[in-house]
Chains A and B, each alone.
Chain A
């Protein structure tokens, strides 16, 4: 694809207007697949899904199926799920354990480190021509594991994952770390998968800090479905953050989130009040985290999106969502639910029940999101509709850079995070170099 996409015309950040075209146009969609999903770091899965040698979990990168796999030596790989001979999927199970990936078509087989092992009738048909070494499964050139989460990029020149995440990692840590402040230690307890007729960016944007869409969740807020709802608490979660300063933060590489800065004097606010064991667990974790992290404990998460399509919910509920593109107007949502791996059984049980009633297509809160994304997409297709851009003018200019946190920080609800996201998005579609994509020279990033 060599055509230039009219990004300047479609994404007018000075005036705060973005064309509907980027949410419906096949040209932009193709540009995304070829220039964005082939370069950005994408979320693949979690090590808890593949604890043992031979374990695999089939994931996606853009539109394509990939296999996340731990080989016989324990090394983690990500392969394109497609035989080198005629392209058939070599793995059509979602998750499991194997010593070989055998293609159903002509029975070429690959070991768990991706090497081509079996080629039927090799001696008679291929000897002297086919060099097995050259025909391994296609492997991502860049793979990184951060606190058990596995990420990959198709661009050999991509910066290291931590340079790509930049200061967004401080917020992502609040999702991945144990509730008591120990680093990492989460596990995936299930993955929702569903398709919905919407552009994938609506979903990503929702998590970039679109706190403004709260009214669409009025029904759950009225009836109360949170972890303390049976104690008469209204709302969709507990009010843990009443005393905090809400912040909306955009990062140079396009990540954005809504987090909270609690006062240093913060005390535990009772949560999960109808389950004393769980309330006690979170009280313990809160105190322990404060002791362990000191001032850093003041940062707590709501939602965020790691560019381009890995979103998270930080606490109530807690998990990572990935928005896989199917077409300009169809998306496959995956939601990985997280708990502390060593949390007591009763705590895990209460959490999973809350996650299920809150999240995903069966979740009382998120059903209303899907309704919005669907009809926002559908109503943007029209010839006349496409002549009229979306308004992204909220809180224009109302942010400070690196104050009080790294990034562009707004203390009020803002569309600075999506404006920042689409600035980076345009850079990808224009084939920008990495220092532009992550907002700083790569050399400097490497030296830090």
Chain B
């Protein structure tokens, strides 16, 4: 894609959106966050395997739509996760964790139909999510995300999110937060 003024404006718009979204999560405005998700959302976090050189493309990550991953779910399920936290008796998040989402390296990977009339954007980014819980529990989740975003009015909606966590054995007792 040519680096036109429109391209830079679009990238800034997408960055702003991703920062706003991260902020909603960190402020624990979970219901507002859900509003940013498309009804046909796909939210996917594969498990990562240690595989032989040359097999990474085929076998390193579990696949969306088959077998078991960390997350391979829809908006209904994410809504349930929010509902569960809001019961106040979901003890893995009661009391609530303190979480900060850092989002960086935002890139426009694909824009449709055009940069000037962007209706759908595929954006890549890196994340560093820090979770601190109760007194002494600390978890750091680092990885890559690929988001499919759809323009809705003056804002955006997330239609698909792929979260690539840079871990094999999960080094956290739980994945009770959102990415």
Contacts and interface: CB of A to CB of B under 8 A. Distances in A.
A371 B169 contact: no
A167 to B, nearest CB: 31
Contacts of B84: 219-220, 223, 225, 364
Contacts of A352: 66-68, 72
Interface string A352-374: 11011100011010011011101
B55 A96 contact: yes
Interface string B39-76: 00000010101111001000100100111111111001
Interface residues of B, number: 39
Contacts of B67: 189-190, 352
A362 B80 CA distance: 13
Interface residues of A, number: 42
Interface in A200-254: 216, 218-220, 222-225, 229-230
B171 A195 contact: yes
Nearest to A215: B89
Contacts of B9: none
B73 A353 contact: yes
Contact of B92 (A197, A224, A225, A370): A370
Nearest to B83: A223
Contacts of A230: 76
A153 to B, nearest CB: 25
A400 to B, nearest CB: 35
A191 B68 contact: yes
Contacts of A332: 169
B174 to A, nearest CB: 5
B80 A193 contact: no
Interface stretch (A2-10, A87-95, A118-126): A87-95
Contact of B90 (A92, A219, A356): A219
Given A352-B67, A356-B72, A190 B62 contact: yes
A371 B174 contact: yes
Given A195-B171, A357-B80, A362 B90 contact: no
Contacts of A94: 49-51, 168
A196 interface: yes
B161 to A, nearest CB: 14
A192 B50 contact: no
B26 to A, nearest CB: 20
A194 interface: yes
A302 interface: no
B68 A189 contact: yes
Interface in A57-105: 92-96
Given A94-B50, A353-B72, A194 B89 contact: no
A359 to B, nearest CB: 9
Given A94-B51, A223-B83, A216 B76 contact: no
Given A190-B47, A219-B87, A222-B87, A356 B71 contact: yes
A49 to B, nearest CB: 12
A362 B91 contact: no
Nearest to B135: A378
B111 to A, nearest CB: 32
B68 A194 contact: no
B152 interface: no
B172 A194 contact: yes
A372 B83 CA distance: 21
A337 interface: yes
A421 B143 CA distance: 42
A225 B90 CA distance: 13
Contacts of A93: 49-52
Interface in A171-204: 189-198
B49 A337 contact: no
A218 B175 contact: no
B92 A368 contact: yes
B77 interface: yes
B170 A372 contact: no
B81 interface: yes
B3 interface: no
A222 B89 contact: yes
B170 A219 contact: no
A139 B59 CA distance: 28
A192 B173 contact: no
A120 to B, nearest CB: 21
Contacts of A194: 169-173
Residue from B65, B73, B87, B89 with most neighbouring chain A CB atoms (10 Å): B89
Interface of B: 45, 47, 49-52, 55, 59, 62, 65-73, 76-77, 80-81, 83-84, 87, 89-93, 168-176
Given A189-B66, A193-B168, A356-B69, 18 more contacts: A93-B52, A95-B49, A190-B68, A191-B68, A192-B68, A193-B169, A195-B169, A198-B173, A216-B91, A223-B83, A352-B67, A355-B68, A356-B73, A361-B70, A361-B170, A370-B174, A372-B91, A374-B173
24 contacts: A93-B49, A94-B50, A96-B52, A96-B55, A189-B66, A190-B47, A190-B62, A192-B68, A192-B70, A193-B168, A196-B173, A198-B173, A219-B91, A220-B90, A222-B87, A222-B89, A223-B84, A356-B72, A361-B70, A361-B170, A362-B45, A368-B90, A370-B92, A371-B92
Which 9 A-B residue pairings sit nearest by Cβ, starting from the closest? A190-B68, A367-B92, A196-B173, A194-B170, A219-B90, A362-B175, A190-B67, A219-B87, A193-B169
Interface of A: 92-96, 189-198, 216, 218-220, 222-225, 229-230, 332, 337, 349, 352-353, 355-357, 361-362, 364, 367-368, 370-372, 374
